[in-house]
Chain A
Amino acid sequence: MALLEIENLVVEFQTASGPFRAVNGVSMKVHEGEVLAIVGESGSGKSVSMLAAMGLLPWTANVTADKLTFNGRDLLSMPPAERRQIIGKDIAMIFQEPVASLNPCFTVGFQIEEVLRVHLGLDKAARRKRAIELFEAVGIPDPAERLGSYPHQMSGGQCQRVMIAIAIACNPKLLIADEPTTALDVTIQKQILDLLMKLQADHGMGLIMITHNMGVVAETADRVVVQYKGRKMEEADVLTLFENPKSNYTRALLAALPDNATGDRLPTISELFVDDQMEGAAR
């Protein structure tokens, strides 16, 4: 059975000029122990579809789906209190801007212990012990000392490690990483990706990587979903996608990589890909 199953997800935002459809009929499945990458440009609805699964969208969003289940339980029809028990515990999320997504007013130790208190109900000593364990697991040196630090006292890479520690605090079954390395340097990016892959393999988690970096996809994913303007253009396993992309959009995306430049000019997506509503309509 699939861990997360999404069928025909539609997200609409109410705006002053009428409803805007950010996600238009996306379907996907994530299995246990699998790494799924969702690729797309900004505005392709890749983050919004995952936020919809997490139930983190503001009230202006209208989420509908034929099926949105986690571990066989319907997320849309369950009461909010029940859903909150799943979110943050069994499904956890890492956000793009590590420094901005931590609360600057509290120590990182407080923020990680908060998760342990709310979801696992551990007592003070047990929380502290677990927090130190988690910091060790994500490779923060001198963990006991660092629990008392505020986010601004840590670097971007360290803050991202704290975010990861918070996300894996309750041993989630599914981890959603929304552009986890976009704000980081390449050498730090490598460390964070290695860490995520190690944690994923150790715990057998399902992992969803949202990214626009084809290199990150190539280094991490088992399966890839390509999104464009809220629609799913292609779904394939990673080797097939790079070797033999089916959709014209994926081909254009790969050709625009500076790595693949052959002549003096880079081919651009607008030259290679004509937005045709029919092409790649949800299969």
Chain B
Amino acid sequence: MSVILEARNIVRDYHVPGSLLKKAKTVHAVKGVSFSVEQGKTLAIVGESGCGKSTLGRILTLIDPATSGDLLIEGKKIDIAKGDMTAEMRRKVQIVFQNPYGSLNPRQKIGDILTEPLVINTNTPADERRDRAMTLLKKVGLEEKHYNRYPHMFSGGQRQRIAIARALMLNPKLLVLDEPVSALDLSVQAQVLNLLADLQDEFKLTYVFISHDLSVVRYIADDVMVMYFGEAVEYGSRDEVFADPKHSYTKTLFAATPRADVESIRARLARKKAA
């Protein structure tokens, strides 16, 4: 198995400029995180809001540069701060955002949304772009007739499918999924998770799955990394982390996740009766 993504000691600081009354300060959003993901595997990054998981996602997607540390994609070091990025490098990583209502341009037709990455990054002729968009529309469970529609004509689950199709247009190696199902209903969530699993099998995709929902993570991930205040406090295979959490924060997180099995309901009702 080849390693697609490797991060070594990634650090990201944000400088908040001072003003007359305030001193300038530095926010350490990500404080030295290392991990690697093999082809066809899924790494889940878990943590609460403000722990730096989305910042890390932006660094992996090559949107933001890391302050220090190395990012290797397919063994090749990439530093976007240097500005020597080629279109080919950019094609390797794509992202699906959390809120499908915000991430699709309401004034663009689905066809234009899907073909835009090809227009920007490649010299593919128009008819091939169209063919590729049609193929992917069908792959994600939509139909060719949807090509000329606008985003407002679709439901949340369908929009997330469109966002996934757009991310796949450039045939990326790595897909960063930033809370892709947390805005969706339970039934739609199951459909989108199934779709992601199918696509992973078909295209040998590698996923970095950012989430705070442990039940989803347990279902989809191979490896799990738990982040807390910018640090990776726990990193290991899914079974290791779920069976034997080491760090106290991970334990808190597990304890806080509501459990929907009959035994825990029984236990709760018994406690209530006793009180």
Contact = CB atoms under 8 A, between A and B. Distances in A.
Contacts of B269: 238-239
Contact of B260 (A215, A264, A270): A215
B262 A242 contact: yes
A212 B186 contact: yes
Contacts of A270: 187, 191
Interface in A233-250: 238-239, 242-243
Interface residues of A, number: 38
Contacts of A41: 185-188
A44 to B, nearest CB: 9
B258 A219 contact: yes
Contacts of B260: 214-215, 217-218, 242, 254, 257, 259
Given A185-B49, A201-B275, A258-B219, A218 B252 contact: no
Given A185-B212, A215-B215, A258-B215, A268 B190 contact: yes
A238 B269 CA distance: 9
Given A212-B185, A239-B262, A242-B262, A257 B215 contact: yes
Contact of A266 (B185, B219, B255): B219
Interface residues of B, number: 36
Given A42-B185, A253-B186, A266-B194, A218 B266 contact: no
Contacts of B266: 239
A105 interface: no
Contacts, number: 105
Nearest to A221: B265
Contact of A267 (B185, B190, B253): B190
Interface string B68-111: 00000000000000000000000000000000000000000000
Interface stretch (A54-62, A135-143, A186-194): A186-194
Going nearest first, the 8 A-B pairs with the smallest beta carbon separation are: A215-B258, A269-B187, A190-B256, A258-B219, A185-B48, A266-B190, A218-B260, A256-B190
Given A214-B186, A242-B262, A258-B193, 18 more contacts: A41-B187, A186-B257, A187-B48, A188-B48, A189-B256, A212-B185, A214-B260, A215-B257, A215-B259, A217-B260, A218-B258, A218-B260, A253-B186, A258-B219, A266-B190, A266-B193, A269-B190, A270-B191
24 contacts: A185-B48, A186-B48, A186-B253, A186-B256, A187-B48, A187-B252, A189-B256, A193-B258, A215-B257, A215-B258, A218-B259, A218-B260, A218-B261, A218-B264, A219-B264, A239-B266, A242-B260, A242-B261, A243-B262, A256-B187, A258-B213, A258-B219, A259-B215, A259-B218
